[in-house]
Amino acid sequence: MLRLRPLLPAAAALSLSCNGGIFGGFDDDGTAGDLPPGWYTDGATESDSYDSNNNSNDSYDSYDSGDSADTNDTSIDPTGADDDPEAGCPCAPGTELIYVLSDTGTIWSFDPEDLYFNRIADISCGPFYDTFSMGVSRKARAWVQYQTGDVYTVDLNDPNDPIECLDPGFEHGHPKFPNFGMAFVANSLIDPCDKLYAHTAIGPDVIGPMSGALGVIDPYTIQISEVAPLDYGWGELTGTATGRLFAYEGVTPPLLNEYDKESGELLDTFPLPELTSDSAFAFAWWGGDFYLFHDPNSFGSYSDVWHLDYDESDGPGQTLTKIVSPAPIRIVGAGVSTCVPAGPM
């Protein structure tokens, strides 16, 4: 769900957009042109919406930037962030797939079953275009962070293109979390309500004892708090409906680590020698496996998609396989809600 800032001027960065990128994207009539394997629009125009299928009371020491978040001034639901605890935190439509974010602010869906990408819309967050990371909630809201540290939300079910950005009232500037990878994680197997967790994203070379941190965003104040120190200052997160938290972090090779979301204890580790994390990278849990999005060219113009058979449901061993190359965009964010399948499909 995140990437380093490329050494490119703004115009050059914008030229990587999927609307006019390396393969042209759409023809002049608004329909799909000659797209690589794995791309999919279902005949949609650029303005069409996608087709998705053919609280715990824990407290932590919170950071206060000087001005406490006033939840009465936010543009989204003032309490609960993206949960409805009294209703049992139901799943909104449009929360079934993996959702990915381009480095120029376009959101697509990715279906892990047929490996199709489908364009949803651009996002319009004022003057910002330099996206950094993304998480997706049970309400089908994408929480998007920019290189500036600002966080906005967009409704994935909004039929407009571009989709309007709303301000949840997040106060950025925490020294451990100038930028961060993020993911929603369910409270537990029996409690589907979730929280938005954050992983320090200072730089790939920031490695060492307590150099990074795991954080959580309070669903009522929208303030970020440190849960526990980590040994990696650069990482991305994904979560599950059963309350598990995973991080894609470190370099040469990067690691897929599982952490206890309450204590930060390292529970398991899996090396990823085929991949890197010094450019655009993101990942998501879906159906017991991981889907990893990786820029193979270090500030290139597209990402590849890899599949890790984590639960070994597809055969013997936890096999890592490249399944789409190239993807239609350079992916800097990937988000799944805790509504997606937790086990094998």
* Enclosing domain of residue 142: 10-52+82-335
* pLDDT computed for residue 76 by the predictor: 53
| Residue 77 forms part of a structural domain | no
Q: How far apart are CA 281 and CA 66, in angstroms?
A: 32
Tell me, rounded to whole angstroms, the distance of Cα 34 from its chain centroid: 28
| Residue 231 forms part of a structural domain | yes
| Residue 197 forms part of a structural domain | yes
* pLDDT computed for residue 42 by the predictor: 39
Q: How many CA atoms lie within 13 A of 27 on its CB side?
A: 9
Strand partners, 207: 232
- Asked whether 203 and 235 are in contact (CB, 8 A), the reply is no
Domain count, the chain: 1
* pLDDT computed for residue 19 by the predictor: 27
* pLDDT computed for residue 13 by the predictor: 27
Strand ranges (E), 137-175 = 141-146, 151-155, 163-164
For 305-335, the DSSP string reads: EEEE-TT-TTSSS--EEEEESS-SS-EEEEE
- SS3 per residue for 276-303: CCCCCEEEEEECCEEEEEECCCCCCCCC
Q: If you search the block for the tokens 């329909």, which residue do you land on?
A: 31
| Residue 89 forms part of a structural domain | yes
Query: Which CA distances in Å does 314 have to 6, 220, 257, 269, 289?
Result: 37, 41, 21, 21, 10
| Residue 267 forms part of a structural domain | yes
- SS3 per residue for 240-274: CCCCCEEEEECCCCCEEEEECCCCCCEEEEEECCC
- SS3 per residue for 19-73: CCCCCCCECCCCCECCCCCCECCCCCCCCCCCCCCCCCCCCCCECCCCCCCCHHH
Q: How far apart are CA 185 and CA 339, in angstroms?
A: 10
Q: How far apart are CA 259 and CA 261, in angstroms?
A: 6
| Residue 340 forms part of a structural domain | no
| Residue 344 forms part of a structural domain | no
CATH number of the domain encompassing residue 148: 2.120.10
Supply the DSSP symbol for 85: G
Q: Which of 206, 194, 176 is nearest to 243 (CA)?
A: 194
How many residues can be counted in the chain? 345
Helix (H) or strand (E) holding 106: strand 106-111
* pLDDT computed for residue 59 by the predictor: 34
Q: How far apart are CA 240 and CA 213, in angstroms?
A: 20
For the chain, 345 residues long, the average pLDDT of each consecutive 10-residue run is 36 26 31 41 35 34 40 46 81 96 94 97 83 95 93 94 91 92 95 95 90 93 95 96 95 92 97 82 96 85 94 90 95 96 81
| Residue 140 forms part of a structural domain | yes
- Single-letter code of the amino acid located at 122: D
- Asked whether 134 and 333 are in contact (CB, 8 A), the reply is yes
Q: How far apart are CA 181 and CA 248, in angstroms?
A: 9
Q: Which of 37, 162, 50, 158 is nearest to 96 (CA)?
A: 50
Antiparallel, parallel or unpaired: β 131-136 and 245-249: unpaired
* pLDDT computed for residue 124 by the predictor: 84
- Asked whether 319 and 309 are in contact (CB, 8 A), the reply is yes
pTM, two decimals, is 0.79
